[in-house]
Copies of this chain bind each other. A is one copy, B any other.
Amino acid sequence: MRAAVIHAPRDIRIETVPDPELREPTDALVKVTHACICGSDLWAYQGVAARTAGQRIGHEFTAVVVETGSEVTTLKPGDPVVAPFVWSDGTCVYCMENLQTSCVNGGFWGEPGSDGGQGQFVRVPYADGTLVKLPSGLDDDTMVKILALSDVMCTGHHAAVTSGVRKGSTVAVVGDGAVGLCGVLAAKRLGAERIISLGRHEARTAIARRFGATDVVPERGQDAVDAVRDMTNGEGAHAVIEAVGTEQSMRTAISIARDGGAVGFVGVPHSGSRGVDIRQMFNRNVALTGGVAPARAYLPELLSDVLAGRLDPSPVFDMRVGLDGVPQGYAAMDERTALKVLVLP
């Protein structure tokens, strides 16, 4: 089959690789129908996150089941499915608690020895636990909406849930990437009254407004803090979604949280803890929550909203490529000419 392979920073190629096969009786083999490129893939692309030359890449996909192992009971060939960005056995103590990202048998697509989402086929470990079955016959538009539930929409939702967004909350969202935008959408869905989007890229903040942002703050650093405090009676936001992962974004997020509030951080942290202003957290009782989102836990609920026409995160996709176009897709996201690239293998 053909799949995206990362050889070195900024060197992603589409290559012919061995066809995946069932290895365990709990595996399923699936044919990818829709995949995409994630902001966190860019960390690998840019060389900030280390990868072994030859690793696969991509962790968001919808697919059709091709073959199932003998112990797979909930899926059969032909079933359309969506995969969360980690696999999980669905039975361990953490899966039982809906923290599938801590599954004792879990793993990430693209880690050495596993397939990535940006390819034609994927061997799915623990298929019963991992995959969420979809209705048959969904149109392409709906599949694209569902694809966003693989990661970014569930991740934005996780930040909103863990930071305590509720009806009437004032929410600030640091970052106008796909996760930040989905955080806006999640906050709106949870009943936030005021949603302040911190971002300066106009095409993106336009989506933020479409998703429910009531205010946009293009400033950064102390200017951004001042702007948010000015518009919240000096208090800051009850809940802050940190969707970037840099020292500055974390510092800003903590600084714009209201006393007694929380920052839900879902931007993969690449600057250590330098932006974590612990003294401010202590003095003002600002909690730091979030982490890698257990998308599998949120998928049924969010899927139900998508299928009912109540939720549409698909505007985050603004470029569409075939598998051969994946390297161009990375370049476009790296250059910020694309927000999020849809891949049709």
Interface residues of A (CB under 8 A from B): 93-94, 97, 99, 101-102, 162, 235, 250, 259-260, 262, 265, 268-269, 272-274, 276-279, 281-292, 294
- The answer to whether B286 and A282 have CB atoms under 8 Å apart is no
23 contacts between A and B (CB under 8 A): A93-B235, A94-B260, A99-B259, A99-B260, A99-B285, A102-B259, A102-B260, A265-B282, A268-B282, A269-B279, A269-B282, A272-B278, A273-B274, A273-B276, A276-B276, A276-B278, A281-B288, A282-B290, A282-B292, A283-B291, A285-B290, A285-B292, A287-B290
Identify whether the interface residues of A are mostly helix, strand, loop, or mixed. Answer: mixed
Chain B residues with CB under 8 A of A162: 285, 287
- The answer to whether A277 and B285 have CB atoms under 8 Å apart is no
How many Å from the CB of A71 to the closest CB on chain B? 26
Closest to A293 in B: B285
Chain B residues with CB under 8 A of A287: 162, 287-291
Counting from the closest, the 7 A-B pairs by CB-CB distance are A285-B291, A102-B259, A273-B276, A287-B289, A273-B273, A99-B260, A273-B278
Closest to A268 in B: B282
When all copies of this chain in the complex are counted, the total is 2
Closest to A98 in B: B260
Q: Which of B235, B285, B292 contacts A101 (CB 8 A)?
A: B285
Once the chains are docked, how many angstroms separate the CA of A255 from the CA of B294?
A: 20
Chain B residues with CB under 8 A of A288: 281, 287-289
- The answer to whether A277 and B273 have CB atoms under 8 Å apart is yes
Once the chains are docked, how many angstroms separate the CA of A97 from the CA of B285?
A: 13
How many Å from the CB of A97 to the closest CB on chain B? 6
Closest to A260 in B: B99
Chain B residues with CB under 8 A of A290: 282, 285, 287
Chain B residues with CB under 8 A of A276: 273, 276, 278
Once the chains are docked, how many angstroms separate the CA of A262 from the CA of B289?
A: 9
Chain B residues with CB under 8 A of A278: 250, 269, 272-273, 276
Once the chains are docked, how many angstroms separate the CA of A277 from the CA of B281?
A: 15
How many Å from the CB of A89 to the closest CB on chain B? 15
Q: Which of B94, B259, B260, B282 contacts A259 (CB 8 A)?
A: B94
Closest to A276 in B: B273
Q: Which of A162, A235, A278 has the most C-beta atoms of chain B within 10 angstroms of its own C-beta? A: A278
Chain B residues with CB under 8 A of A101: 283, 285
Q: Which of B99, B250, B262, B285 contacts A102 (CB 8 A)?
A: B285
Chain B residues with CB under 8 A of A272: 278-279
Once the chains are docked, how many angstroms separate the CA of A162 from the CA of B279?
A: 17
Closest to A104 in B: B234
Once the chains are docked, how many angstroms separate the CA of A285 from the CA of B268?
A: 12
Chain B residues with CB under 8 A of A292: 282-283, 285
Once the chains are docked, how many angstroms separate the CA of A291 from the CA of B262?
A: 12
